């Protein structure tokens, strides 16, 4: 018997994948009971959860309809988890990069203004973990912590929250990028150096330098992640 979380994930993933098109009706309570074997109470909670994410809307005498993607809450951590589990394609990769370019250079600039010694220690530790990489996942995880630490150092809780909300998609993005450069020592060294330049600018309280270094880092990562996707 499936639970609430599992059913929501199944239906949410089907909506995100296009298996359930906008305007289509979700299964009736009877149909879902037959499929999942759970009570009407659980099924009502499933519908409420998907509705809260902007993915469906219930209409009297019609049923529960799938909404257009323009209504979906793309920053919902579960929505991003489900979308990332479907794999990164070029469009989603571009969308993630556009969001990062809109936010992370500003966060880096603010971090250069507001960082404390404790913030610098956290960013430096993440950078050290990247240098001492063991495999794809450990490098990508350290890379993620590097960016989260900069969001925290900015002193703006919205930057930190946005990075946290997108961390699942961001980890998958970083992992794809890392795979494309991990076995090329020269290219990986360039990636590490670009991260180090962001750190150095923040440490020096170089606001414009931190912003510029972050832009260059993000563009470099996008280039290699796109290459990996197109070659796979």
pLDDT tens figures, 55-75:
999 888 888 999 999 999 998
Cα–Cα nearest to 168, from 43, 48, 74: 74
Q: Under CATH, which number does the domain 87-231 receive?
A: 1.20.120.530
Long-range contact set of residues 127-132: C-beta below 8 Å, sequence gap at least 24? 127/192, 127/195, 127/196, 127/199, 130/192, 130/195, 131/192
The first and second tokens of residue 68, run together, are: 């257009």
Angle (CA) 99 109 164, round 5°: 45
Q: What predicted TM-score, i.e. pTM, was given to this entire model?
A: 0.84
Q: Please tell me the distance from the alpha carbon of residue 109 to that of residue 206, in angstroms, as a whole number.
A: 8
pLDDT tens figures, 3-30:
888 999 999 999 999 999 999 999 887 8
DSSP assignment letter at 24: P
Q: Please tell me the distance from the alpha carbon of residue 210 to that of residue 163, in angstroms, as a whole number.
A: 17
Angle (CA) 170 143 198, round 5°: 110
Topology annotation, domain 4-71: Arc Repressor Mutant, subunit A (1.10.10)
Q: How many CB atoms lie within 10 A of CB 52?
A: 11
pLDDT tens figures, 70-102:
999 998 888 988 988 887 788 888 888 898 999
The first and second tokens of residue 99, run together, are: 């969001």
Residues of the chain with CATH 1.20.120.530: 87-231
Q: Please tell me the distance from the alpha carbon of residue 214 to that of residue 153, in angstroms, as a whole number.
A: 14
pLDDT at 181: 63
The first and second tokens of residue 98, run together, are: 């556009």
The predicted model gives 181-194 an average pLDDT of 77
Q: Please tell me the distance from the alpha carbon of residue 181 to that of residue 120, in angstroms, as a whole number.
A: 26
Q: Please tell me the distance from the alpha carbon of residue 22 to that of residue 16, in angstroms, as a whole number.
A: 10
Residues of the chain with CATH 1.10.10.10: 4-71
Contact 45, 7 (CB under 8 A): no
Across 46-60, 118-132, 152-166, least confident range: 152-166
């Amino acid at each position: 018997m499936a639970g609430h979380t599992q059913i929501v994930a199944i239906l949410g993933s089907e909506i995100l994948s296009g298996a359930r098109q906008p305007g289509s009706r979700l299964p009736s309570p009877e149909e879902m009971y037959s499929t999942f074997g759970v009570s009407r109470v659980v099924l009502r909670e499933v519908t409420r959860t998907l509705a809260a994410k902007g993915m469906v809307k219930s209409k009297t005498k019609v049923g529960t309809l799938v909404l257009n993607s323009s209504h979906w809450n793309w920053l919902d951590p579960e929505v991003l988890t489900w979308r990332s589990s479907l794999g990164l394609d070029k469009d989603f990769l571009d969308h993630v990069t556009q969001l990062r370019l809109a936010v992370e250079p500003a966060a880096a600039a603010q971090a250069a203004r507001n960082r404390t010694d404790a913030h610098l220690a956290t960013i430096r530790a993440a950078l050290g973990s990247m240098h001492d990489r063991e495999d794809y996942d450990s490098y990508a995880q350290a890379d993620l912590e590097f960016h989260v630490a900069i969001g925290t150092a900015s002193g703006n809780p919205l930057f930190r929250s946005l990075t946290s909300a997108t961390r699942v998609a961001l980890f998958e993005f970083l992992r794809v990028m890392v795979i494309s450069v991990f076995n090329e020592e020269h290219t990986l060294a360039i990636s590490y150096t670009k991260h180090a330049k962001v750190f150095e600018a923040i440490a020096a309280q170089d606001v414009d330098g931190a912003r510029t270094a972050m832009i260059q880092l993000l563009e470099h990562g996008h280039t290699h992640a796109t290459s990996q996707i197109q070659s796979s």
